[in-house]
Structure 1
Amino acid sequence: MSAETRRRPNILITGTPGTGKSTLGQEIANRLQFDFIEVVGKEVREHGLVEEFDERLNCHVLDEEKLLDHLEDRMNSDAGGVIVDYHGVDFFPERWFDFIRENIECEIFGSLLEEAKDSYKEEIIHELQSETVDQMHANVDYVCRLASQWRPAR
């Protein structure tokens, strides 16, 4: 399926760790009654979507192919309404998302924004600041408004 047949938009929330992606995504999902997928957390752990354990970094390494296979049906559903929270963008298929919300905390992480611009159409990328609680609330309102106004591409 594609954006032409989806009834609700799919949203990718990306940014550096600790910028409030999960908080924002969960709040938007609750308000719009969308599905929320926190890739690094529950989804990877519950479904074993790891390649290996990195002893040096003391963490699991995500198996991107397993993740893509795992998410394929949900992301291609006619229903849409899926929010994905992940700190990278370059391996997700462009057709999966109607909005990309880039959570930028400081300029040093501008490479994530460039990665998003290199991977997706610029008109679906929305760069928002999330440094204060007020900004977070404004961002939730903004993304919910975008999702409410979204219409499938024809």
Structure 2
Amino acid sequence: MPRTRPNIIITGTPGVGKSCHCELLVQTTELGLRHLSINNIVKERNCYDGYDDELKSHIVDEDKLLDEIENEAKEGGCIIDWHVCDLFPESWIDLVVVLRADSTILYDRLEKRWVSLSPLTFGTGGLLLVADWLHADVLYLWDAGTIRVCNPAKNRLLAPIYYTRGVLSERWLMASADKKLQENLDAEIMQVILEEAREAYDEETVIELRSDTTEEIDSNVDRISAWARHWIENNPEGV
């Protein structure tokens, strides 16, 4: 059955505003678009195959992930939200939006996401929500002297750490934040995701948009919405 609505990938390094763009686009109700957060799908539908001890993360089962979203993609109207874009078949995708942000602005955004991390206290056997870019990190008491810092939304074990008297080390927390922050900044500066998109999809399918200010975000949403309306008008019989 032909699909009568486009599929769009919104991609970029953490902190550029992918989820914000997706949520605003979904609110454009006449387009009938759906937000597919791949991080959530991997977690909720068990689309992973093993665990990488070195990277401290689940290994995404790409075949299972594609199988899980294939029917939704064939129906159309999907906004695929992930930092990886070259996995999805080119035949599924009508537009790839790579969001970019100034490194200084990106640094400030990512730094603020860790601001409430320290100090943290917890009770034996308890759970404690902590700030992360998806506000989804949870501290799990692992044994008598160790806790695991996990991010369920990313299916990632960030690190096993040790604590004293139930208080997390501010130094450890900030060191962890700085390492992850620098990884994201390096990826943005090197245009890693943009280059991956250009290699995987037709040149006319990939666009690069700035996402430094609320005005730019609003403009991007208007531009993508206008493109989607134009696509729907030009493909009344579907593709």
Q: Do they superpose with TM above 0.5? A: yes
- 2:6 matched residue in structure 1: 9
TM-score of the superposition, structure 1-length normalised?
0.87
- 1:27 matched residue in structure 2: 24
Contact 1:16-1:109 at 8 Å conserved across structures: no
Q: Could you say what secondary structure the match of 1:134 adopts?
A: helix
Q: Could you say what secondary structure the match of 1:43 adopts?
A: helix
- 1:108 matched residue in structure 2: 189
Structure with more relative contact order (C-alpha pairs < 8 Å, separation 6 or more): 1
Matching residue's letter, 1:122: E
Matching residue's letter, 2:17: G
What is the CA-CA distance between 1:56 and the residue it aligns to? 3.5
1:53-132 to 2 correspondences below 5 Å: 53-77=51-75, 80-106=76-102, 108-132=189-213
Q: Which moved more, 1:128-137 or 1:59-68?
A: 59-68
Moved over 4 A (4+): none
TM-score of the superposition, structure 2-length normalised?
0.58
Q: Select the structure of larger CA radius of gyration.
A: 2
Q: CA RMSD in A?
A: 1.8
Unaligned runs of 5+ in 2: 103-187
1:137-148 to 2 correspondences below 5 Å: 137-148=218-229
Q: Could you say what secondary structure the match of 2:36 adopts?
A: strand
Number of equivalent positions: 148
What is the CA-CA distance between 1:111 and the residue it aligns to? 2.3
Q: Deviations over 1:87-145 (max 9, x none)?
A: 11222100111111011225614121111111111111111010111111111111101
